[in-house]
Amino acid sequence: MKKYSMETAVGVFVLVGLICVGYMTVKLGKVSFFGEDTYTLHARFTSVSGLRAGSSVEIYGIEVGSVTNLGIDTERQMGLVTMKVRKGVAIYDDASATIKTAGLIGDKFVRIDPGGSGELLKPGGTITQTTVPSDIEDLIGKYAFGDVKKEPEKSEK
C-alpha cells in the first residue's frame, strides 16, 4: 500500500511539473491559443541592416510589438519589414517608421511615430514614410579619415 502512495505522489509531482513547463513555454514563447491579440503592418526601408526577426517595435519608447519577417520588395527594390503590433494601438496612414539602435552598439529596433491626422491603418497596411539613420561605421570612418577626397593625379607630358 505504501508503494502505491509513493508512486502516486511522484506521478502528481511530475504532472504538476509538466503543466508548469508547458505554461512557461506558452508565456515565454508568446503563443496565443485563443485568437491573435496583434495585427500585421508592413514598412519599406532602403536598408534594414542590423534589424532581425524578433526585434522590438516601439511607440513613444513603449514596446508595442515585434518584427516578424524581413524580406525584399522586388517591385520597389527596398527592404520589407513585417511587424506584429498589439491590437488597440492606433497607427494612422501618416505614420512614420525609423530603424533605431538601443544604446551606442545595441540591438536595432523599429520606432514608429503613429501620426494622427489621417485614417487608421488597417491590418496588413503599409507605413510609407520611413527613414534609416546613418550607419555608425560610416560616421566613424568619415571622422577618422577626415572624409578627404583625393585629387586626380595629373599626367606628365
Residue 86 burial (CB count, 10 A):
15
72/114 same-domain check? yes
Identify whether 109 is part of a domain.
yes
Q: What is the pLDDT of residue 16?
A: 93
- pLDDT of residue 156 exceeding 60: no
Do residues 58 and 130 share a domain? yes
pLDDT at 103 > cutoff 70: yes
Instruction: Tell me, yes or no, whether 5 and 63 share the same domain.
Output: no
Judge whether 146 lies within some domain: no
How many angstroms separate the CA atoms of 153 and 69, rounded?
A: 48
Within a domain: 57? yes
Q: Which domain holds residue 92?
A: 38-134
Residue 13 sits in the same domain as residue 74: no
Same domain, 54 and 103: yes
pLDDT digits (tens, 9 = 90+) for 37-62: 888 999 999 888 888 888 899 999 89
Q: Are residues 21 and 81 in the same domain?
A: no
Question: What are the CA-CA distances from residue 45 to residues 8, 53, 118, 143 (Å)?
Answer: 59, 15, 21, 26
Q: Are the C-beta atoms of 111 and 58 separated by less than 8 Å?
A: yes
Domain contains 94: yes
24 and 72 inside one domain: no
Edge-first strand order for the sheet with 129-131 is 126-127, 38-45, 78-86, 62-73, 56-59, 108-113, 96-101, 129-131
Domains in the chain: how many in total? 2
User: Is 145 within a domain?
Assistant: no
Contact 83, 110 (CB under 8 A): yes
- 17 and 45 fall within a common domain: no
What pLDDT digit, counting tens, does each position of 67-96 carry?
999 999 888 898 999 999 998 888 888 889
In this predicted structure, the answer to whether residue 63 has a pLDDT above a threshold of 80 is yes
CB 146 within 8 A of CB 122: no
Both 23 and 56 in one domain: the answer is no
Using alpha carbons, select from 116, 90, 108 the residue that is nearest to residue 52: 108
Global confidence as pTM:
0.66
Give the pLDDT of residue 47: 86
Residues 110 and 80 in one domain: yes
**Cβ atoms within 10 Å of 58's Cβ, excluding its own:** 16
Q: Check whether residue 7 and residue 70 sit in a common domain.
A: no
- Are residue 13 and residue 62 in the same domain, yes or no? no
Q: What residues does 153 pair with on adjacent strands?
A: none
